[in-house]
């Protein structure tokens, strides 16, 4: 897709996928490095999820993916949506291990109403934060690829702010983000999304930036 088409996807759907942000000849080394870092540090968090390899601020421990954070298409799209003064607010591993169950619907910071610091709902309709999901292995329905509701970024709330059980219920129009290793899914952080169940025999290795 052209730069203009990517912007339109973000405006209408709230997400898009950029392929080969990490080149094919480099992605295996990045994945192995991230997996090694996760194996080493995931248990340092007392509240670490049982079947998800989550290491907050992983860039402090592993710089293997750092050269690709400023990939021109990615920076160009982010700047078009947020303006030229960009800042990375978090880096985290998201390794979805075999047998991991589906997670609940949420939007990311600053829209997740469970976070201590957040924009209270209802919030205005403008882009102020992006979440990028870096596929270091295949993201698909078998491996537990991220589930999203296209267009939900235009809602002034999300399931973390509802009083019913919407966080835990499948949504009729949900889709699974499919992405090949080295690809990056760009989401408006207001997007409703959830982790899919990993029904494969391999971990789904990724990053959230």
Q: Got the DSSP string for the chain?
A: --HHHHHHHHHHTSEEEE--SS-TTTHHHHHHHHHHHHHHHGGGSTT--TTEE--BTGGGT--TTGGGTT-HHHHHHHHHHH-S-------EE-EE-TTPPP---B--TTS-TTSSS-PPSS--SS---EEEEEESS-BSTTTTPPEE-TTGGGSS--GGG-SSSGGGS--TT-EE--B-TT-EEEEETTS-EEPPP--SSS-B-EEE-
pLDDT band of residue 48 (cuts 50, 70, 90) is: low
Average pLDDT for residues 164-179, to the nearest whole number?
A: 93
Give this prediction's pTM: 0.95
pLDDT at residue number 165 = 84
Average pLDDT for residues 99-110, to the nearest whole number?
A: 94
Average pLDDT for residues 162-170, to the nearest whole number?
A: 89
Predicted confidence (pLDDT) per residue in 118-149, tens digit: 999 998 899 999 999 999 999 999 999 999 99
pLDDT value at 163 more than 90: no
């Amino acid at each position: 897709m052209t730069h203009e088409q990517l912007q339109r996807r973000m405006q209408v759907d709230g997400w898009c996928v950029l392929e080969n942000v990490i080149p094919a000849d480099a992605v295996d080394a990045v994945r192995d490095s991230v997996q090694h870092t996760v194996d080493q540090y995931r248990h340092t968090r007392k509240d670490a999820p049982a079947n998800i390899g989550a290491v907050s601020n992983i860039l402090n421990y592993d710089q293997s993916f750092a050269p690709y954070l400023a990939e021109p298409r990615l920076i160009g799209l982010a700047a078009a949506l947020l303006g030229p003064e960009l800042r990375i607010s978090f880096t985290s591993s998201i390794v979805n291990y075999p047998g991991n169950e589906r997670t609940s619907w949420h939007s990311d910071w600053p829209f997740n109403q469970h976070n201590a610091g957040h924009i209270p709902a209802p919030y205005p309709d403008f882009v102020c934060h992006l979440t990028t999901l870096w596929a270091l292995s295949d993201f698909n329905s078998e491996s537990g690829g991220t589930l999203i509701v296209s267009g939900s970024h235009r809602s002034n709330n999300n399931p973390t702010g509802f009083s019913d059980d919407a966080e835990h219920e499948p949504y009729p129009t949900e889709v699974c983000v499919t992405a090949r290793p080295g690809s990056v899914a760009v989401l408006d952080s207001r997007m409703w999304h959830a982790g899919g169940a990993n029904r494969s025999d391999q971990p789904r290795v990724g990053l959230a930036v």
